[in-house]
Chains A and B, each alone.
Chain A
Amino acid sequence: MNMLSDAAAEKALVKKMNEVNYKMVGKDVSVYYGEKRALFDVNLGVRNNTVTALIGPSGCGKSTFLRCLNRMNDTIQGAKVTGLLTLDSKDIYDPDIDVVELRARVGMVFQKPNPFPKSIYENVAYGPRIHGLARSKAELDQIVEASLQKAGLWSEVKDRLQESGTGLSGGQQQRLCIARAVAVSPEVILMDEPCSALDPIATARVEELIHELRANYSIVIVTHSMQQAARVSQRTAMFHLGNLVEEDDTDKMFTNPSDQRTQDYIMGRFG
């Protein structure tokens, strides 16, 4: 009886997955750092033109999952990923997939703003240059301007493109990093607590930006701020101790979560 319902649930899930327009899908994803297992069979999809927020207490595996999506875990020694992760239904851990190409399609913004110690212009032009996206200087100029526009930074820096990117304020640096990620025209943008090092005003600007970017990109954002998750995302996934607790519409998650742990975490009872 139980087995039957399990099978039925599985079937319903597969059906749902086929109905919804998923950009990236993770199936039974587990991550090991050496002996230690950091993620336990996570099944989670990223929808097209949707902001998905990953929440949960520190060390619950949400950043680990995020880093699987563009294989940044490859750069950590001893990290091993199992399970299936797809981008547009193609396995991204398949040996045929070029990790360099994958990362150009799945961009990433980090917790701490990390502009290169180069000029603002060079920071944004870095990606297009290495991928040969511009055939001429004029084209490159255009990409840089468009990217800075999209990141809402153009008006502030257009007169000082040759100044160092590290001379900007923290919030500007983070938007520069977003512009840098946008410049290679990714399809998905991953953000790992992008506002945790910023003040409330800069945070508001970045959140506004995430709203605008949603029109063109699928976005996955890790955040420790419940308000931020509620403000910027349409879907929310709750992690706990390396497991995915539940994933649902953000409205439902914050008003009527199905799992008690989600309720407790959102209400601030643990984490």
Chain B
Amino acid sequence: MSVGSIVLVVLVLAALGYFFGRRRAVAASAKSGVKLHSLSGYYGQTVALFTAVPALLLMVAWLFVQPIIIESRVSDMIPDSVIPQGGALSLVMSDVRQIAGGLDAVLANTELSEEALNSGEVDFTTIRARMAEVGVALAGDVPQEVYEAAKAYRQGADIGRLMMTVAVIGLALGLLAWSMRRIEPRMRARNVSENFVQALLIGSSTIAILTTVGIVFSLVFETINFFKLYPASEFFFSTVWNPQFRGGSDLGILPLLWGTLYVSLVALLVAVPVGLMIAIYLADYAGSTLRSFAKPAIEVLAGIPTIVYGLFALITFGPFLRDWIAQPLGLGSSSSSVLTAGLVMGVMIIPFVSSLSDDIINAVPQAMRDGSYALGATQSETIKRVILPAALPGIVGAILLAASRAIGETMIVVLGAGAAARLDLNPFEAMTTVTVKIVSQLTGDTEFASPETLVAFALGLTLFVITLGLNVLALYIVRRYREQYE
């Protein structure tokens, strides 16, 4: 039975469980004369929840675990001699999966029977022809062992699917019966429901945390692989970035890191002062009518896709900077430059600074303002000496959010700053950033075996560590200098 139909069966069972559970509770109450502890719907709900949720969870877990078990069994069947020189077991295993999928297609579309295949009557040459008929093309020579492994893989998957169907529907039925039987008027169905909701919420937050942990781990493992192939000291301290897909490349992160920090710095130099002043104006000077109009208008900036900013940088702003500033001053002749990308990116992150800071400044109690005005302070003195210090933690948070957006930004840099890895102080030169190079290292090649591709993970991890460090630093600053009201 397919996954979709199993889910459908379980859901139908749950719906029936709700209906009959509710009826049973009402009937039991009427018969014994005991008042129901909860509303009748809650009894139905407990039955439905206990029927559907554990069964579906079991199915999800099964779908994760089954391929792992089958692969480990099947990979034992493959002798080392089959693995090509310099290749990996994982490559052979992907062949196995492909052939298994091909066999499924053959069985579905031709008159070849399951028994004939499993008894070994059909040899691989015929199969290859049949597969070509149904549109599955195989690459190269496939050894007999791999063919056998593919057959075993198919069988394992079939058996597993059958076992899963039985187990999931069996569990659903069993819990349906159990939860129906325990219904009686004194049962606290409402509280059961409540606990269930709580468990659901905890589960959801766990998913978010586990995902983060998972991402970090995958990054860490691939990075370790990379450092096995390429010396860490070169990666961190070499000033040359020159990947060659034939091998022998220089993969120094410094030029990329420099580009990233330079572009982000320019962007923040634009966004922080402008954004803060917008926030102060909106929060303390603008009337409510203007504010209700201007704030969403500024937030529109954040909604523009970054590729559009990139186009703007490439077509309008870059040439403008080159023709009117860089060339007359003799500072460069490239239309893609750090300044182009940085300034455009700065405009993009203005709303991150202004909108959040505005909310935070607004959240400073009116009593603080009154206290300051009553002492004869002017509006700007009040903002400078009372409001901003009180709002500082939130403002730092807003700036950090903007900074991490700037550091992680890719499209604007590709189109605005170019792709040349360079260590230079001149802001009119083309440079590039870590994110751009991650993209270019992974484009067109999905085989993660060479240092040239694995370096992407090392770059990603470095970026992650930097933003994490920024966050920790900001937390420290905020704790240290916070002026807490109440």
Contact = CB atoms under 8 A, between A and B. Distances in A.
The answer on A and B forming one complex is yes
B376 A177 contact: no
B367 A110 contact: yes
A126 B370 contact: no
Interface in A158-213: 164, 166, 177, 180-181, 184
A105 to B, nearest CB: 8
B371 A72 contact: no
18 contacts: A70-B374, A103-B373, A103-B375, A107-B375, A115-B371, A116-B368, A116-B371, A116-B386, A116-B483, A117-B368, A118-B389, A118-B483, A126-B377, A127-B377, A130-B376, A177-B371, A180-B371, A184-B376
Contacts of B386: 116
A130 B370 contact: no
B372 interface: yes
B395 to A, nearest CB: 14
Interface in B321-376: 365, 367-376
Given A114-B367, A130-B381, A130-B385, A166 B486 contact: yes
A104 B376 contact: yes
A100 B378 contact: yes
A127 B376 contact: yes
The 8 A-B residue pairs with the shortest CB-CB distance, nearest first, are A117-B483, A104-B376, A114-B367, A108-B374, A103-B376, A127-B375, A114-B371, A117-B485
A104 B375 contact: yes
B96 interface: no
B486 A77 contact: no
Contact of B371 (A100, A101, A102, A110): A110
Contacts of A261: none
B366 to A, nearest CB: 9
A110 B375 contact: no
Nearest to B482: A117
A123 B282 CA distance: 27
B288 interface: yes
A166 B368 CA distance: 12
A114 B373 CA distance: 12
Interface string A82-106: 0000000000000000001111100
A100 B389 CA distance: 22
Contacts of B486: 166
Contacts of A107: 374-375
A27 interface: no
Nearest to B378: A100
Contacts of B372: 116, 126
A115 B370 CA distance: 11
Contacts of B374: 70, 72, 103, 107-108, 110, 181
A193 B363 CA distance: 24
Given A100-B377, A104-B376, A184-B375, 4 more contacts: A72-B374, A103-B373, A127-B375, A164-B483
Contacts of A103: 373-376
Interface in A115-133: 115-118, 126-127, 130-131
B391 to A, nearest CB: 10
Contacts of A224: none
Nearest to B485: A117
Contacts of B113: none
B484 interface: yes
A22 B326 CA distance: 70
Interface string B381-394: 10001100110000
